A and B are shown apart, each in its own frame.
Chain A
């Protein structure tokens, strides 16, 4: 069965770039929308962006100018970069497989990224 695993630094300094990778195992990265979602401590879920396996992407309008999402089909991985981070970007970041309408499953276990100097 398909499993997803996030990886990346747990601590990022303000104004720097947050970089995370999601590795997909147990299945192909083809034919789905590969999605990033985040959850600030004690708060709700926020959709960040998704990328279709062909490379087309879209992101949350509130984050669009700072978000880059990419995919490496040869490694079965997709990645997130969020620039100019502030404390407000501190959150658990999840990756998930989905379709255009959501249908997000499965999810990775999530990784906490703290923005602090």
Chain B
């Protein structure tokens, strides 16, 4: 069970859009529609932002969206805001009642 692959860092200016990728295999990301995304600010617990690839929990701003193509899932943040600066992690069901996380991506708002 290998960690999902995410870019180490991404950046964008306020108002711009950024996309964070999460690449796995047909045994995890590609095989199930069970990808979730978490936002983590320094010193805080992660917060669920997207689940089941595209669904947004109540209270999460609608400028966060998720998608998937093949073995790669993506989190898009449109209309970047200063408070979106954080670490982001993807997570996928990997079969046989196991989960796997991505290595994490640091988003910098310039």
A101 surroundings in chain B (CB, below 8 A)? 32-34, 36, 51-52, 93
**For A108, what are the chain B residues with a Cβ–Cβ distance below 8 Å?**
45
A residues 39-91 in Cβ contact with B at 8 Å: 44-47, 50, 58, 60-62
C-alpha gap A57/B46 in the complex (Å): 23
Q: Which of B1, B3, B34, B57 contacts A102 (CB 8 A)?
A: B34
Q: Is the CB of A104 within 8 A of B93?
A: no
- A109 in the interface (beta carbon within 8 A): yes
Q: Which residue of A lies closest to B100 (CB)?
A: A47
Q: Which residues of B contact A47 (CB under 8 A)?
A: 91, 98-101
- B98 touches which of A44, A45, A61, A94 (Cβ 8 Å): A61
CA gap between A61 and B96 in the complex, in Å: 11
Q: How large is the interface on B (under 10, 10 to 19, 20 to 34, 35 or more residues)?
A: 20 to 34
Among B48, B51, B101, the residue within 8 A (CB) of A44 is B101
Give me 23 A-to-B residue pairs in the complex whose CB atoms sit less than 8 angstroms apart, sorted by A's number.
A45-B46, A45-B89, A45-B91, A47-B91, A50-B99, A58-B97, A58-B98, A61-B1, A101-B32, A101-B34, A101-B51, A101-B52, A101-B93, A102-B34, A102-B35, A102-B51, A102-B93, A103-B48, A107-B45, A107-B47, A108-B45, A109-B45, A110-B45
Q: Which B positions have Cβ atoms within 8 angstroms of A?
A: 1, 3, 32-36, 38, 45-48, 51-52, 57, 89, 91-93, 96-104
Interface of A with B (CB < 8 Å)?
35, 37, 44-47, 50, 58, 60-62, 94, 100-105, 107-110
